[in-house]
């Protein structure tokens, strides 16, 4: 079962192209910092504006660096089922450990349509599938009943829940059983999600604070609530700043401050404004992720 902190990886760009060298160096840093898993080509990786060859290549680059040291959960979602199947089959061939498939956006399928979409991807591949339920971006919401129905399929392995509904987290766990991976998609509420039966998170914040986020998950698993509370409080201003504007603009800016990549995003996204940049810098300094306090990030 997937658990702990998995990073929803940014995709570095330079002059309009994927910066492959920066991406692989970033993945290696994530692993060295103790992250528990890697998620290339999700929303944070700007998958909507990656070409198909770029999308495939980013997954290949991630798997190549990971070398089995941590699981790679490749984003393979689409609002076209055939396209989703093709991306999932490529991820499997590239060596990914699982696929993260977002609920089909824009065309707003029924619950039966959602079930058949995931079942088709499941039947056409042999790797575990994580459902990505994020109604705020996709305009469709998978019900607990549909998720429980899908959970009966052998390779529907869990959910990334970005509904920000903590009551739903508990109800989903009760409906799907203990072996269904419950992963949060919301950094600010992750500890509460864990308390509702969650197993971990696919995190944006861990792009810039992988060690602290991994430590928080490990402390939870050990029952060290004091450390959990300290890290939660330390990271909360950072998590809030990361979503002051549309993600991944702020997190790419934050990663650029740490020297990992440029702050470049692809239209229709734009870099964050000055107020968000200031808020991001201040939150990172206070958390020990930038400037004089940066060495604290390695505690």
Question: Given pLDDT bands bounded at 50, 70 and 90, which one contains residue 36?
Answer: very high
**pLDDT tens digits, 215-252:** 999 999 999 999 999 999 999 999 999 999 999 999 99
Residue 279: inside a domain: no
Q: How confident is the model at residue 233, as a pLDDT? A: 98
Question: Given pLDDT bands bounded at 50, 70 and 90, which one contains residue 296?
Answer: very low
**pLDDT tens digits, 183-216:** 999 999 999 999 999 999 999 999 999 999 999 9
Q: How confident is the model at residue 71, as a pLDDT? A: 98
Q: How many distinct structural domains can be found in the chain?
A: 1
**Under DSSP, is residue 39 helix (H, G, I), strand (E, B) or coil?**
strand
Residue 117: inside a domain: yes
Question: Given pLDDT bands bounded at 50, 70 and 90, which one contains residue 291?
Answer: confident
Residue 257: inside a domain: no
Q: How far apart are CA 299 and CA 212, in angstroms?
A: 8
Residue 170: inside a domain: yes
Active site residue 3: no
Q: 115, 118, 132, 253: which one is catalytic?
A: 132
Residues 6 or more apart whose Cβ sits within 8 Å of residue 230 = none
Residues 6 or more apart whose Cβ sits within 8 Å of residue 222 = none
Q: How far apart are CA 99 and CA 42, in angstroms?
A: 10
**pLDDT tens digits, 128-166:** 999 999 999 999 999 999 999 999 999 999 999 999 999
Domain of 139? 4-225
Residue 254: inside a domain: no
pLDDT at 294 over 70: no
Take residue 180 and report the two structure tokens written for it: 């269904």
pLDDT at 293 over 90: no
Higher local confidence (pLDDT), 295 or 111 = 111
Question: Given pLDDT bands bounded at 50, 70 and 90, which one contains residue 298?
Answer: very low
**pLDDT tens digits, 67-124:** 999 999 999 999 999 999 999 999 999 999 999 999 999 999 999 999 999 999 999 9
Q: What is the mean pLDDT of the chain?
A: 96
**Under DSSP, is residue 13 helix (H, G, I), strand (E, B) or coil?**
strand
Residue 41: inside a domain: yes
Read off the CATH number of the domain in which 200 is found: 3.20.20.70
Q: 160, 222, 226, 252: which one is catalytic?
A: 160
Residue 63: inside a domain: yes
pTM of the model: 0.96
What are the backbone dihedrals phi and psi of residue 156, each rounded to the nearest 5 degrees, phi first?
-85, 100
DSSP alpha helix (H) spans, the chain: 20-32, 52-66, 81-94, 111-123, 135-138, 144-151, 166-176, 190-195, 210-222, 225-242, 249-257, 274-286
Residue 15: inside a domain: yes
Residues 6 or more apart whose Cβ sits within 8 Å of residue 4 = 36, 37, 199, 200, 214, 217, 218, 221
Q: How confident is the model at residue 1, as a pLDDT? A: 85
Q: How confident is the model at residue 144, as a pLDDT? A: 97
Active site residue 132: yes
């Amino acid at each position: 079962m997937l658990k702990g902190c998995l990073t929803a990886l940014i995709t570095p760009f330079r002059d309009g192209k994927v910066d492959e060298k920066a991406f692989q160096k970033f993945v290696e840093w994530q692993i060295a910092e103790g992250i528990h898993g890697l998620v290339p080509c999700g929303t944070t990786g700007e998958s909507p504006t990656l070409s198909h060859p770029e999308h495939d290549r980013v997954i290949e680059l991630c798997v190549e660096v990971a070398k089995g040291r941590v699981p790679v959960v490749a984003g393979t979602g689409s609002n076209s089922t055939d396209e989703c199947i093709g991306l999932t089959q490529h991820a499997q061939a590239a060596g990914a450990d699982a696929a993260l498939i977002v609920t089909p956006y824009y065309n707003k399928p029924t619950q039966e349509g959602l079930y058949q979409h995931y079942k088709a991807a499941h039947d056409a591949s042999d790797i575990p599938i994580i459902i990505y339920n994020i109604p705020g971006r996709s305009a469709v919401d998978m019900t607990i009943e549909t998720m429980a129905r899908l959970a009966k399929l052998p390779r529907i392995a869990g959910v990334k829940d970005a509904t920000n509904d903590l009551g739903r987290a508990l109800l989903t766990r009760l409906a799907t059983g203990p072996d269904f991976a419950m992963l949060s998609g919301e950094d600010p509420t992750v500890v509460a999600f864990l308390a509702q039966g969650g197993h971990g998170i696919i995190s944006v914040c861990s792009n810039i604070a992988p060690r602290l986020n991994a430590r928080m998950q490990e402390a939870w698993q050990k029952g060290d609530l004091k450390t959990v509370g300290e890290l939660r409080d330390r990271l909360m201003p950072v998590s809030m700043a990361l979503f002051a504007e549309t993600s991944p603009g702020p997190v790419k800016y934050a990663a650029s401050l740490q020297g990992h990549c440029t702050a470049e995003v692809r239209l229709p996204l734009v870099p964050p404004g000055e107020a968000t940049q200031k808020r991001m810098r201040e939150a990172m300094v206070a958390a020990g992720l930038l400037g004089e306090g940066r060495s604290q990030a390695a505690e």
